[in-house]
Amino acid sequence: MTEAGVPGQLRPNPWSGIAVRTDLSGALPRDFGAFYEANVRMYLGFAHSHLGERARTEAAVHDFFVWLAPRWGQALTRPNAPAAVWTAFRRHVARRLEVHGQHRPVVESLAFALNREDTRATLESLESRLGLYEAIAKLPDRPFDVMVLHFLLKIPQKQVAGLLGVSPATVRSHIRHARISLARDLNINWERDRGETDESG
């Protein structure tokens, strides 16, 4: 259940236009502050899509960056620092979900977003919608994250690539393979969204 109270009505990212917290970004090493300022809104959006409550979301993301700050130098030694940080953040959100023992609202919200596309006629029945929920939940972690970030949170593909530490081509590949997987599980012909190109974002 989302904050709006209806599955699928979660706002894409309630923090997309807010100013970042200067008490965090201004008091940290310059490179960490720059990373925080560039990514915190997207981290908040992703966490909110899973946790479903604003206060819980803000606490989770704040706690993560507080945890990350003293480990930032170590993170930068990794071959792919953005990917390593995202993996740690994803685990952090998963632990919060385990603590609160709740179902991820993101599955219903992403299903709602995808169901607005060319598959609408195919997925009108409750049985079909439940099948979509199950198919989305079975996606591997990285394609799942890409679908949430791009289709639900409306983050351009190039920004998704930077956030996850992958190339735009890899993001497009994740989208393509996620579509193939969902279409196979649902036994539908899922065509490319109208107006979407390989260079979107």
Three-state SS at 1: coil
Question: Helices 30-51 and 81-100, interaxial angle, to 10°?
Answer: 40
What pLDDT shows up at residue 41? 92
Helices (H) and strands (E) in the chain, counts: 10, 0
Please name the residues in contact with 7: beta carbons below 8 A apart, sequence gap of 6 or more.
1, 105, 108, 109, 112
Contact at 8 Å (CB) between 28 and 20?
no
Give the residue among 151, 146, 135 at the shortest CA–CA distance from 173. 146
Specify the residue for token string 């925080």: 36
Contact at 8 Å (CB) between 175 and 198?
no
- Residue 166 carries which DSSP code? S
Residue type, 131: G
- Ordered by start, the domain boundaries in the chain are 22-100, 105-186
What pLDDT shows up at residue 184? 82
Contact at 8 Å (CB) between 42 and 157?
no
* Overall CATH class of domain 105-186: mainly alpha
What pLDDT shows up at residue 20? 46
| Dist CA 153 CA 161 (whole Å) | 14
Sign of CA dihedral 68, 99, 95, 15: negative
Sign of CA dihedral 92, 95, 101, 103: positive
Which residues of the chain register pLDDT less than 70? 1-29, 100-105, 112-131, 188-201
| Dist CA 5 CA 116 (whole Å) | 19
